Structure 1
Amino acid sequence: MPRMRWPEGFMWGTGASATQAEGAAPASDWWEWEQQGRAPVSGDGNGFARSFATDFGLYSGLGLRHHRMSVDWARLEPEEGRRDRSQVARYREILLAAADAGITPWLCLHHFTLPRWFARSGGFANEENRRGHWMRHVDFVADAFSDLVGGWQPVNEPNYYPRIAFGGGPFPPAVDDADTFGRVAEGIHLATAEAALRLRSTGRPVSSIYGLSVPVALDDSAETTVRVRNHLADNWTSWIGLVRDGVLRIRDRPPIDVPHLANVFDMIGFSYYRTTGVRRGEPVPHPSGAPLSAMGYAVSSAGLRLVLSKLREELEDTPLLVAEYGVGVHDDDLRARYLREGLAIVRTAIAEGADIRGFFHWTGVDNYEWMRGYDVPFGLITRDRTVRPSAAVLAAEALG
């Protein structure tokens, strides 16, 4: 039987972030975090700022002709109200180089790190910040770059950010407070949807990037039931209610009715890295016996099927985008196998009627992996720009 062809116009791409590819901006909260010894020093990231033209050429040669990158707010506006026009020019140079290489760029406006001045004034917990500074930034980026981009993925994993920064996680400011968590979760979900609404006015498509996994209960204890319920509430129910129904629900806080923000995305994009097993209320690698990644995840693509099934159940007929799929391992054969299995799951879902528009690999070139520094290789390409054999798995599909 001949292999199923991918849909016409299916997008093959890569994803990256500014801090991870360029290093921390001196005016960012993450740079300060590094200076305090709270995270490894990022330096110049993977060297993207000087090697972008080379990188785009490598991606294009592999058939990966879409690339999501972030423009760093702390570089564009290092002080409140002061725009750095040299950084605008630099990012425009990068976007022009992408076009020269046949790459369609997608822009992200917030990927975990913030200008210090914004963070110190309350960040997304402050409603005035969201309505004022954030939306002015969105307008500025739209005006400065919309002529050079193919699409937008405005905020990276808004369902994940509140937990890693305000729910006991290690990202700045590393606060563990339920009320602050709730206000930040409300703020960043609203900020994401409001940005999407504004960016759609540029005439370019807009996709989300939600970090998704479906929890698997491994026992029937009360602790596991609570953990699974909270996972679904924080990582699914909140944003689904917002983008489908125009109602944002964050844990036990009063719902927020925002009907004008329903259906603001052209595609629901998501990242997938692992399946979350829960035993006696604690997360564990799942399935048991699977090899572990450098970050301790079970290397298994099976959970991707669960995510796609739940998305189709909750958001029937909504176009989907695999906005990040990858694995941090030193064993490139394992990466190749993980890619083949994930692609097979996507292919099957399409054959069953899912409207999946593309597949973006995380990442193109090995980068800075936050608290793990440079110890976790996610790339199809090494930092010295050697293409790994696993890249051939995607190239074979992308180049047909």
Structure 2
Amino acid sequence: MLPMREVLEFPEHFLFGTATAATQIEGHCEDTDWAAFAREPGRIRGGDTPAVACDHLHRFREDVAIQQQLGLGAHRLSLEWARLEPGEGDFDPAAWDHYREVLGAHRDAGITPMVTLHHFTIPRWLAARGGLANPELPRLLSRFAAHAVEALGDLCTLWITINEPNVVASHGHLLGVWPPAHHAPIEAFRVLQNLLAAHDAMYRAMHDTASQRGHDLAAGVAHHLRIIEPDDTGRVADRAWTALYEWLFNGWFAGAVCERKTHDFFGLNYYSRDLVRFAPERFREAFLERNVRAGAEVNDLGWEIYPEGLGQLLDLWAPRAGVPVYITENGLPDDDDDQRPRFLVRHLAEVARALQRGLDVRGYMHWSLLDNFEWAEGYAPRFGLVHVDYETQTRTPRPSAALYARIARERRIDDATWAAIGA
């Protein structure tokens, strides 16, 4: 007789859901910095643009129905700032009504929405005035946030102010692979500081508005955190650059939010582990090279699959945050869906074990519900639980979606679940 495998359970209040972002799935918005960036030759793999994406703008009810059929209880989505405020201070009532329909459809389906206000993209009018480096950013984003709570606060209680501030600062202002395509380390850190000020202002404005309107509201940041280790532990330069990268990428922004207590929950986006090598030849990458451990399993983009890292980050940041934690993103590009079932089970197992250790983790949002426009990588990476045929816009749930649905329905990882992934 085979030994029984580990049985792990989730409490009744735990939210199983998915995550998406407006630019990546909605289509039909030419007023963002990313729409303009994608039209520049050579910027996006394959020359792809988010012009249509998954046409979610017109198909959101179909996508909500898929979530409902899977029995998922939560969905994290974002608002397209440029759609809602196409000119500075010029809010579009029809666009706000659209998002009321989107949130209402989720609530009618029994799905708890979590709304992100800034998910990488900005309106072109702001990009033309310095973008995220503009000192007016905190005022502009706090005004937008207050308007969002006033317009939508009766339909949503869970809010993300900013998604992955460390990523948007580094990719756009250090590595130069996202708009505005700058290679300026000092500017990148100033943008990070500006985003922190913006988050603080948004947090206060949202709570003030919610209080005035009588809405319940909990707000936080979706922090992208990675496991960061030296490539060669015997090399002093690798250890030093690992510590610097750890502080700048993982620690600075998230630590500041924790210290200032400007959050009601801690959002954790987790994908992979980096092995850091000091590389003096990589001037434009701040002398940093990120590697993968030899023999490690990797996904379609070459990122290491390292589930244990999620548990390690929960142990480190949940006590430091002092508030409930949501896994606001976790997923992988896996076109043929041969890795995603194991990925899901192993990462959810880390969450369940963290719950056993007494950590207050309230939910898990898998990235992503749909295949989508993956920024500079275009449409090649396939992150979706649901396959999207971009020519016909046909949605087809992958086998991993059924596995995730069963875990969500039964609220446990049991012997049959482990057997399903060959563990």
TM-score by length of 2: 0.86
**From 285, 294, 297, the counterpart of 1:288:** 294
Moved beyond 6 Å, runs of 4+? none
**From 303, 309, 330, the counterpart of 2:309:** 303
SS of equivalent residue, structure 2 residue 269:
strand
Distance 2:296 2:28 in 1: 34
Q: State the 1:8 CA deviation.
A: 2.8
Could you give the per-residue CA deviations for residues 219-255 of structure 1, whole angstroms, max 9, x where no partner exists?
132431232122212223212432232xxxxxxxxxx
Q: State the 1:278 CA deviation.
A: 1.8
SS of equivalent residue, structure 2 residue 362:
strand
**From 219, 226, 229, the counterpart of 2:243:** 229
Larger RCO: 1 or 2 (CA < 8 Å, sep 6+): 2
Partner of 2:418: none
Q: State the 1:280 CA deviation.
A: 4.5
Partner of 2:79: 71
Correspondence 1:316-335 to 2 at 5 A: 317-335=322-340
SS of equivalent residue, structure 2 residue 386:
coil
Distance 2:275 2:134 in 1: 34
Distance 1:88 1:339 in 2: 34
Q: State the 1:155 CA deviation.
A: 0.9
Contact 2:223 2:254 in 1 (8 A): no
SS of equivalent residue, structure 1 residue 154:
strand
Correspondence 1:41-190 to 2 at 5 A: 41-131=49-139, 133-190=140-197
Q: State the 1:154 CA deviation.
A: 1.6
Contact 1:276 1:283 in 2 (8 A): no
Distance 2:342 2:205 in 1: 40
Contact 2:318 2:324 in 1 (8 A): no
**From 23, 27, 32, the counterpart of 2:31:** 27
SS of equivalent residue, structure 1 residue 208:
strand
Partner of 1:380: 385
Identity of aligned residues (%): 33
Root-mean-square deviation (CA, aligned residues, Å) is 1.9
- Tell me, yes or no, if structure 1 residue 370 matches structure 2 residue 375: yes
Q: 1:331 to 1:238 in 2, by over 3 A?
A: same
Structure 1 unmatched ranges of 5 or more:
246-261
SS of equivalent residue, structure 1 residue 234:
helix
Contact 1:215 1:276 in 2 (8 A): yes
After the TM superposition, which of the residue ranges 120-129 and 31-40 deviates more from structure 2?
A: 120-129
Q: State the 1:94 CA deviation.
A: 1.3
- Tell me, yes or no, if structure 1 residue 11 matches structure 2 residue 15: yes
Could you give the per-residue CA deviations for residues 316-362 of structure 1, whole angstroms, max 9, x where no partner exists?
x4321111010101231211001111011111111111111110000
SS of equivalent residue, structure 2 residue 227:
coil
Q: State the 1:265 CA deviation.
A: 1.3
Q: 1:319 to 1:287 in 2, by over 3 A?
A: farther
Distance 1:213 1:14 in 2: 20
Contact 1:287 1:300 in 2 (8 A): no
Q: State the 1:10 CA deviation.
A: 0.4
- Tell me, yes or no, if structure 1 residue 243 matches structure 2 residue 257: yes
Distance 1:267 1:149 in 2: 15
Residue identity in the other structure for 2:38: E
Distance 2:369 2:320 in 1: 31
- Tell me, yes or no, if structure 1 residue 217 matches structure 2 residue 230: yes
Partner of 1:272: 270
Q: State the 1:24 CA deviation.
A: 6.3
Q: 1:394 to 1:35 in 2, by over 3 A?
A: same
After the TM superposition, which of the residue ranges 154-163 and 213-222 deviates more from structure 2?
A: 213-222
Residue identity in the other structure for 2:189: G
Contact 2:30 2:51 in 1 (8 A): no
Q: 1:42 to 1:204 in 2, by over 3 A?
A: same
**From 386, 406, 416, the counterpart of 1:396:** 406
Q: State the 1:284 CA deviation.
A: 4.0
Distance 1:357 1:42 in 2: 32
SS of equivalent residue, structure 1 residue 106:
strand
Residue identity in the other structure for 1:212: L
Residue identity in the other structure for 1:369: E
SS of equivalent residue, structure 1 residue 273:
strand
Q: State the 1:302 CA deviation.
A: 2.4
TM-score by length of 1: 0.90
Contact 1:221 1:280 in 2 (8 A): no
Could you give the per-residue CA deviations for residues 159-182 of structure 1, whole angstroms, max 9, x where no partner exists?
221101111231100111133112
Contact 2:268 2:326 in 1 (8 A): yes
Contact 1:68 1:153 in 2 (8 A): no
The alignment covers a number of residue pairs equal to: 382
SS of equivalent residue, structure 1 residue 374:
coil
Distance 2:203 2:69 in 1: 31
Q: 1:313 to 1:84 in 2, by over 3 A?
A: closer
Distance 2:12 2:111 in 1: 17
